Amino acid sequence: MSVIRVDNTDKTEFDRALEELRGYFSVLSQNKGRPATYSLLTYGCQLNESDSEKLAGMLAEMGLVKSEDSGELAPADVVVMNTCSVRENADRHLFGNLGVFKNFCRKGETSVIAVCGCMMKVPENVEKIRRSYPYVNLVFDPQQLHRFPILLRDALDIGKQSVSVCGEDYIAEDSYFPIERQRRFRALVPIMYGCNNFCTYCIVPYARGRERSRSFGEIMKELEDLASKGYREVMLLGQNVNSYGKGNEDGKTFADILDEASKIKEFSRIRFMSSHPKDLSDRVIDIMADRPNVEKHLHLALQSGSDDVLKRMNRPYTAEGYMKIADYFRSRVEGGSLTTDIIVGFPGETEEDFVKTLEICSRAAFDAAFTFQYSIRPGTKAAEFPDQIPSDVVTERFGRLTKLTNSLSEASCKRLVGQKKEVLIEGISKAGGGVYSGRTISNHLVNFTVPDEIRNSGSFCEDSLEGRLCEVDIQYARPYSVDGVMERFTDGK
């Protein structure tokens, strides 16, 4: 499988397609007597969220405006569904939603439907759309995001369903795309795409393709541009950011990106996701420890505490090797938080294997854990493994694991009580009632109130709180968050 770098020749056709679509949707707007609208449904990981920001940018360039109708399944003239193949029941979610949009099409409330994302790399899903959902105009895979306007224009020209799922891996720099960022203070910045690890339970290498890294210079140019536009936080993204640079000629590594990004003084927080234990270097942890604007939070997937299970998962490290990394992180990063992913009930997992997972969780004292019951993903090697674990056994083990990880998470939150922590404000809390939320440099979620003396001061403006830094007195711990009272702004504004 080859990797193709997208150049300015491709951009010319990209821009031409955008111009033609502007004309198409201008006519639609005239016929409707209002601006043509779009709805963008995003499922899955933050890389999917980043892809959707680019899709939103392209849709806006086509002359479409975001639908103001609330709800995931509200009608719009153009509907784009960006799918995920990792989560269980993702196919039911997609096909159930497509059934709803069929009614919108019949009523003339929706004119165009496009489906993209990782699920479109599963042949069975594509064939089902061909057979049962002929009103879908366009199907394409994640590697062809940069061709979306071209593919959509061509699908509308031929007037029937178009399916474009390729066998090549592309890489287009983010400067290629118009991007409609969803947050005023945080920017998602992919630094690489794809995965070479082929964990036996995971569809990602098949859906996202092989590892391919963006240009170091282009990444730094994008970061400098974001800083100049007032973004206070960036999230560096990749299926495995620590393998960045493999195959690039300049020899730059992920540690080099983190090092240079930390020198951009406008950034209050630099975060990254995701890390693989086999590639994480001590230098990355040292940078996390030494640079004040690099988040003191490491998300490092364990998946299992059993070496036998890890081997069957094709995870090339041992439980003790994982703990060596965890111990180094704890020793170097003061006040840092360590979070993880764990799968319960992988084929062949014995009670002894599971107990080893519990033991490693206790030793690592994870600040939070994302726990999953193993589910078969078609197209993966593990789907064909013998010794699939009965569902009742998986459920019982899952209950024991979550009881432990929940207690560890609550203990992590309790350790913050009585401390004053700097918080990057994200906005109004979901709790409402004059409560705001944000995160510490260790990624702990903080819900806080604002005293009247601060609220009534000249420095307080609710409309411009996102991205500001403040000090919060932590007073109460919940299982997954803490509560407190704001004491002052710390960003000098």
Residue 379 is predicted with a pLDDT of 84
pLDDT (tens digit, 9 = 90+) per residue, 66-97?
998 756 677 899 999 999 877 666 777 888 88
Q: Which residues pair with 141 in a beta bridge?
A: none
In the predicted model, what is the mean pLDDT of the chain? 93
Q: Contact 237/203 with Cβ under 8 angstroms?
A: no
Relative to beta strand 37-42, strand 482-489 is unpaired
Query: Model confidence at 19, in pLDDT bands (50, 70, 90)?
Result: very high
Residue 87 is predicted with a pLDDT of 65
Domains 183-295 and 420-489 share a fold: no
Residue 103 is predicted with a pLDDT of 87
Taking residues 438-450, what's their average pLDDT? 97
Q: Where do runs of H (alpha helix) occur along 189-334? A: 204-208, 216-228, 254-261, 282-290, 307-312, 319-332
Query: Model confidence at 378, in pLDDT bands (50, 70, 90)?
Result: confident
Query: Model confidence at 43, in pLDDT bands (50, 70, 90)?
Result: confident
In CATH, the architecture of 183-295 is 2-Layer Sandwich (3.30)
Relative to beta strand 212-213, strand 297-299 is unpaired
Taking residues 108-121, what's their average pLDDT? 92
Q: Which residues of 426-442 are buried (b: 16+ CB within 10 A; e: fewer)?
A: beebeeeeeebbbbbbb
Say which CATH class 3-167 falls into: alpha beta
Residues found in the chain: 493
The domain defined by 420-489 folds into OB fold (Dihydrolipoamide Acetyltransferase, E2P) (2.40.50)
Residue 78 is predicted with a pLDDT of 95
C-alpha 431, offset from chain centre: 24
Relative to beta strand 445-449, strand 482-489 is parallel
Percent of the chain scoring above 70 in pLDDT: 98
Taking residues 7-31, what's their average pLDDT? 92
Sheet holding 37-42, edge to edge: 65-66, 37-42, 78-83, 112-117, 138-140, 162-164
pLDDT (tens digit, 9 = 90+) per residue, 383-424?
999 999 999 999 999 999 999 999 999 999 999 999 999 999
CA distance 262 to 318: 31
Residue 222 is predicted with a pLDDT of 96
Taking residues 107-113, what's their average pLDDT? 90
pLDDT (tens digit, 9 = 90+) per residue, 321-355?
999 999 999 999 999 999 999 999 999 999 999 99
CA distance 444 to 479: 11
pLDDT (tens digit, 9 = 90+) per residue, 205-259?
988 889 999 999 999 999 999 999 999 999 999 999 999 998 888 999 999 999 9
Phi, psi of 374 (to 5 degrees): -55, 135
Angle at 138 between CA 136 and CA 144, to 5 degrees: 150
Residue 149 has pLDDT above 80, yes or no: yes
At which residue do the structure tokens 């006040």 appear? Answer: 335
- Six-digit token pair at 179? 């991007």
Q: Residues 6 or more apart from 256 whose CB is under 8 A from it?
A: 216, 245
Q: Which residues pair with 297 in a beta bridge?
A: 337
User: 3.40.50.280, 3.30.750.200, 3.90.25.10, 1.10.1040.10: which CATH number matches 308-315+334-413?
Assistant: 3.30.750.200
Question: Which residue has better confidence, 187 or 433?
Answer: 187
Residue 71 is predicted with a pLDDT of 61
Neighbour count for residue 393 (Cβ, 10 Å): 14
Percent of the chain scoring above 90 in pLDDT: 76
Q: Contact 37/77 with Cβ under 8 angstroms?
A: yes
Q: Contact 207/85 with Cβ under 8 angstroms?
A: yes
Q: Which residues pair with 39 in a beta bridge?
A: 79
Residue 88 is predicted with a pLDDT of 61
pLDDT (tens digit, 9 = 90+) per residue, 278-310?
999 999 999 999 999 999 999 999 999 999 999
Residue 184 is predicted with a pLDDT of 86
CA distance 379 to 488: 53
CA distance 195 to 237: 12
Residue 433 is predicted with a pLDDT of 79
Taking residues 141-154, what's their average pLDDT? 94
Q: What residue ranges do the domains of the chain occupy?
A: 3-167, 183-295, 308-315+334-413, 420-489
